[in-house]
Amino acid sequence: MAVSCVRTSSEQEHTPKLGLGNSQSPLIFNPSMLNLQPNIPDQFIWPDHEKPCTEAPELEVPLIDLKDFLSNSSSPSATLEASRLISEACSKHGFFLVVNHGISEELISDAHEYMARFFDMPLSEKQRVQRKPGESCGYASSFTGRFSTKLPWKETLSFRFCDDKNSPNTVQDYFCHALGHEFEPLGKVYQEYCEAMSFLSLKIMELLGLSLGVSRDYFRVFFEENDSIMRLNYYPPCQKPDLTLGTGPHCDPTSLTILHQDHVNGLQVLVENQWRSISPNPKAFVVNIGDTFMALSNNRYKSCLHRAVVNSRSERKSLAFFLCPKKDRVVKPPRELLNSITRRRYPDFTWSMLLEFTQKHYRADMNTLQAFSDWLTDKPI
């Protein structure tokens, strides 16, 4: 059963999702075996009000050309226009595209190629880096170890990136230690890719600072020495794509997401109570605001609900870099965004506490940040 693109309200969406333990034996998500069956397991079937829509109209998102901004001789007018477009998008839904971003096509291509090689490995090989309960990094086959209902039709590999001079090769070391030295070429590619994503993220942070009326370097400095997460997403074909989702509706709890899609459509964003699609653009990165930056902006900029749908014909892959602050850095808005009229919307917190909340106590959705704020009243920093 397919539903329309208009989202209906449900009391279930506002029910706190605390206590996520799964006492039953977890289901093994092996798409090559599951696709031989006429139907998909019940654990992957989503409620009617959350099932994918038949057709999602295209979302008009601004295309930010970073060529002049990234050059040594950037013009004030180009910088002003870029920050204006970002401000407009982030005040509405928090999504925009960036082109002429300075990331080489060869590096992006290599990152996609090595992602395909990893997910083509036998399940037993991928499980060597199985994600452990309560952790954010490692291989996950549909999060079957965390949840027992509304499972996503996907596999992921997540790993940590530290912009720390004392730990210069975090990503490369992870692959060598976890999978063996034969994976060193893969580790080198993702080390380079993460370094490029971190650099690009900090430049975008400069534009976000300007767009909010704070100094250009405020957020860039805040996110220096970032402790971020890189995720490879693989969405296999599904024989019943109208019953399940590749990724369920959620807002990213992180600060900023930089996504590169392959050629297959699948990303949808909820805008004005309607699901809309953002089509792949090989020359562009999709950028969106996460909950942590929404708190930093004191709710000026929005972390928007989004999801991924699957299809019965083609596999889909994407590269997602989640910018996160240093884990012990206190998240609070700059004083320029506060006055006698504008009150604080969220309490002070650290990224490590929000990460713990989403990994151990709550399944990320549209209410994560508010639920986390409520949780902090019982567990203060």
Kindly list the catalytic residues. Answer: 316
DSSP SS3 for 235: strand
Q: What's the token pair of residue 124?
A: 């037993």
Beta-carbon contacts of 41 under 8 Å, excluding residues fewer than 6 positions away, are 27, 34
Q: Are 26 and 371 in contact (CB under 8 A)?
A: no
The closest alpha carbon to 285, from 309, 245, 311, 256, belongs to 256
CB atoms within 10 A of CB 366: 18
Scanning the structure block, which residue is given the tokens 């490590």?
352
Scanning the structure block, which residue is given the tokens 């057709």?
55
DSSP 224: T
Integer CA distances (angstroms), 356 to 253, 320, 351, 367, in order: 11, 20, 9, 16
DSSP SS3 for 368: helix
Question: Rounded to an integer, what distance in angstroms lies between the CA atom of residue 138 and that of residue 160?
Answer: 9
Length of the chain: 381
